[in-house]
Amino acid sequence: MALCCLFLLSVGAIAEDKPAAEPEAVAKPRPEGATEEAGDASASGTKIDPQDPDAPVPIEAEAEPTLTPEEAQARMLERIADNLSKRTRTLSERERLQAEREKALADREAALNERESLLEARENMVRRREKLPPPQSWHGPDPPKVVGKYASVIDGRTMQFYYQKDAKTKTPVASTQKLMTALIICSENDLDEKIEVPEAVLHVEPTVIGVKPGQKYTRRELLLSLLVRSGNDIAATLAIDNAGSIEAFAKKMNDTARSLGMETTNFINPHGLPAEGQYSCAHDMALLAFEAYQNAVIREMVQTQQCTFTFNDGSTRELYNTNQVLKSSEYCNGMKTGFTYASGHCLICSGEKNGQDRIVVMIKSSKPYVWNDSEKLLDWALDLEVEPVDADELAIAAFP
């Protein structure tokens, strides 16, 4: 009995020294396709050795590399440079956006100024036309057929059109646009003042009078040679003297064109040599010719058949008018010829008969038709029977 009690006491003591059993861990769901070995390896912080998949290899923690002071300073400088680069890019983007906004504002202001200029030009045109004699009713035979691709006939006093053939089609007009150059020079400059020939004349061709850089002539001498012999070097000299450059003078030409109602015109240079974006039309050139016809100086010069140009060294050159209709028609009193391969043969000629004035524009023709057809149109227009328009007809009369 004593032995049994002793045994039971020993068993109880052993039970008290043994720790309580830990609760079983809840099994987490294993991803589909994952193996038990992979799960065990992950749980134990080991990786599988590819040589012996069954032998787990401990995963070594990557230690932070120790930097030398020089390396630490270099890394710091790299970060600073990167931040500065980002700030520079941000500032550049802001400057770009600001420049775009400023350009948009400048474009808008330029557009407003252009619109105001156009409105002013239209007002000037209306005021000028209000001062013209009233249009006339007219009748006569049909106009003659002409070879020229574009043509128009306008009254030299009333600005009334009698005939137009594809007259509003854009086309190069060659040297006939020298009438605009002459008109601006006569309107803005002292013709008897001497001016110096610029270096730019050395780059102008092919028709030249032969003036040299540094030589000095009066504007009147140069203008006469421009309208009689159509020297391109003369046109460049007058334009640069007037506006400082060819480009600035071309802007003046276009501003004047708008003020005359020339809506299908864009000039690039003062002489009419081919240039991209340069064009006019027979209708607009008739309006220009009408304005030039009202200027007494131009009107006198364009009917000059021959003149002598005297160079600074005393040598001379005889200049002959290129307008052949001046010789063949007793009624013709000017105006201007032109030719390039793009424009063909062009002629603007004016005439007067029995108190009537007519201007004929012929563009993109060929020899001898440019002379013959222009003369036929001029004779036809001068022979039209005209009479003042009645008050009722005047109320509905439309100018070009």
CATH topology of domain 132-388: Beta-lactamase (3.40.710)
Dihedral of alpha carbons 79, 81, 85, 88, sign: positive
> Domain-by-domain residue ranges, the chain?
132-388
State the pLDDT at residue 50: 56
Strand order in the sheet with 161-165: 161-165, 150-155, 356-365, 344-353, 332-340
More confident site: 125 or 203: 203
Given a contact cutoff of 8 angstroms between Cβ atoms, the answer to whether 281 and 167 are in contact is yes
Question: Across residues 78-98, what is the average pLDDT?
Answer: 91
Question: Across residues 60-88, what is the average pLDDT?
Answer: 84
Question: Across residues 90-113, what is the average pLDDT?
Answer: 90
State the pLDDT at residue 163: 97
State the pLDDT at residue 294: 94
Residue given tokens 């974006």 in the structure block: 277
Question: For the ranges 289-303, 334-348, 375-389, which has the lowest average pLDDT?
Answer: 375-389
Give per-residue pLDDT as tens, 159-184: 999 999 999 999 999 999 999 999 99
State the pLDDT at residue 61: 58
The pLDDT mean for the chain works out to: 85
Give per-residue pLDDT as tens, 102-161: 999 998 888 888 778 777 777 777 777 777 888 788 899 999 999 999 999 999 999 999
Q: pTM here?
A: 0.71
State the pLDDT at residue 6: 40
